[in-house]
Structure 1
């Protein structure tokens, strides 16, 4: 028989359970809610800011404020300065993303106060003052290196190397479009060294391209492990941001959920 006292006890227990469920739901929602609403993307060598278009479209649909930096590809200080200008313009926590050479820029500029997390996409990730070329020599030389040609101080990939080694897993039409907008880089860019390694102080994420012919995949794995990054591996060539935009977008979104 349910007495008035036992009925009151049931109501109290039910209310407590309801409060617990609501609190649990709020905690789950808070965990999934992005801490950063801003994303700054930087491209590497042989490319321009349009290389991020597929990822940009996916991030914008989900409500993120996205900026793709036009890396001048002149010197490391000038490339870092261009990225810092974009970071200065962000309102609140920002995920800072670099592809290929731009990982060097992310490592140097990633301690900007607006940056909450770093994402490296098949990217360089030098330590402070490290000779990246010497580090890379510890691994087999990737095929794309042999395709770099110079016109005075400007370097670029030959058409054959671009289509085969840089954009080899993309449809031929798309690869040729990217080749048409290839930006030459200055020799001086490759001589610059970072003065700091932001990946030692910020949460890091890394996308390894297992079929990469521009940066050795084992070198990518080494750098990702060294920075204790949350790492994914994609069966992709160097341009995973184009061949696997969903996976790269999802990795960036995970980085936005990192507490600022």
Structure 2
């Protein structure tokens, strides 16, 4: 593969979703000839998920712009320390600081409706033990996660959601890549899953160039792909060499 001066965009999905949630954004970027990769996020823990994403990044020749949605924002904060990452884009996301967990950041603000809508289950560990994971109750999913997405789409998303390991809420970020690299943020101002003030606080702390999308739900990448892609394109332009 020939090294390119145009960054490759790596899209990292968050909890209760999969890489297909980026479909509209991917189409927007591909129309502009922007190279893009949307790997699966294992959703098993901050350190291990970030290590997986960093391994994907390390196998890409040339610069990378990492974009993370929701919990994916925590992942890119850690994985973004990879040498070839040149920019970070947070999409309705947690922007952690070094040594901070999702629970600690969220705990500074009023709890969003998501908290009361989580459903707990168990999954097996390799050592024979069990751990806890969460999904969103199917009847609550449309309003909490994707209120501005058509109902026929949310019914599919609700049953296709991928669970997040409970341990991910308490695991602290080992590093904060935004301290050394430029960042951008998309704020979903009608988000019922991550308090918009959490998004604003993290973006401001990181010095991110932020864009607020009025009326956008947590699923802003699904409902407003052009606005999300516009911010990613701005990051690509700013970091191209």
TM-score normalised by structure 2 residue count:
0.90
Write out per-residue CA displacement over residues 65-99 of structure 1, whole angstroms, 9 at most, x where no aligned residue: 11112011112222112211210121111110000
Q: Of residues 156, 167, 174 in structure 2, which corresponds to 1:188?
A: 167
Question: What is the alpha-carbon distance in structure 2 between the residues aligned to residue 199 and residue 100 of structure 1?
Answer: 16
Write out per-residue CA displacement over residues 2-28 of structure 1, whole angstroms, 9 at most, x where no aligned residue: xxxxxxxxxxxxxxxxxxxxxxxxxxx
Q: Of residues 97, 117, 134 in structure 2, which corresponds to 1:147?
A: 117
How many positions carry a matched residue from both structures? 227
Q: Of residues 3, 17, 28 in structure 2, which corresponds to 1:58?
A: 28
The answer as to 2:98 corresponding to 1:118 is no
Are the equivalent residues in 1 in contact too, given 2:101–2:173 (CA < 8 A)?
no
Q: Of residues 211, 227, 243 in structure 1, which corresponds to 2:223?
A: 243
Question: What is the alpha-carbon distance in structure 2 between the residues aligned to residue 186 and residue 131 of structure 1?
Answer: 14
The answer as to 2:179 corresponding to 1:200 is yes
Question: What is the alpha-carbon distance in structure 2 between the residues aligned to residue 55 and residue 178 of structure 1?
Answer: 17
Tell me which residue corresponds to 2:208: 229
**What SS class does the counterpart of residue 38 from structure 2 fall into?**
strand
Question: What is the alpha-carbon distance in structure 2 between the residues aligned to residue 256 and residue 35 of structure 1?
Answer: 10
Mean CA deviation greater in 94-103 or 160-169: 160-169
Larger radius of gyration: 1
Give the superposed CA RMSD: 1.4
Tell me which residue corresponds to 1:5: none
| Long gaps (5+) in structure 2 | 123-131
The answer as to 2:49 corresponding to 1:79 is yes
Structure with higher helix content: 1
Are the equivalent residues in 2 in contact too, given 1:98–1:121 (CA < 8 A)?
yes
The answer as to 2:151 corresponding to 1:172 is yes
Q: Of residues 11, 14, 32 in structure 2, which corresponds to 1:44?
A: 14
Are the equivalent residues in 2 in contact too, given 1:203–1:258 (CA < 8 A)?
no
Are the equivalent residues in 1 in contact too, given 2:18–2:41 (CA < 8 A)?
yes
**What SS class does the counterpart of residue 140 from structure 2 fall into?**
helix
